[in-house]
Amino acid sequence: MDVILAFEVGGAVLVAALLGLFLFGLRRRLIQRPGGTFDCSLRPAPAGDAESAAGKGWVYGVARYSGDRVEWFRVFSYAVRPRRVLERPAIEVTGRREPQGSEELALLSDAVVLCCVHRGTRLELAMSDDALTGFLAWLEAAPPGQRVNVA
3-state secondary structure of 3: helix
Domain CATH code at residue 118: 2.30.29.30
Total Cβ atoms within 10 A of residue 116: 24
151 within domain boundaries: no
Q: How confident is the model at residue 96 (pLDDT cuts 50, 70, 90)?
A: very high
Same domain for 96 and 134? Answer: yes
Q: Are residues 56 and 96 located together in one domain of the fold?
A: yes
Look at residue 45 and tell me if it is in a domain: yes
Query: Both 107 and 51 in a single domain?
Result: yes
What's the pLDDT at 7? 80
102 lies in some domain: yes
Do 16 and 88 lie in a common domain? no
Domain extent for 23: 1-32
Looking at the fold, whether 27 and 83 belong to one and the same domain comes out as no
Report yes or no on 81 lying in a domain. yes
Give the least confident one: 1-5, 36-40, 42-46: 1-5
Distance CA 7, CA 111 (A): 45
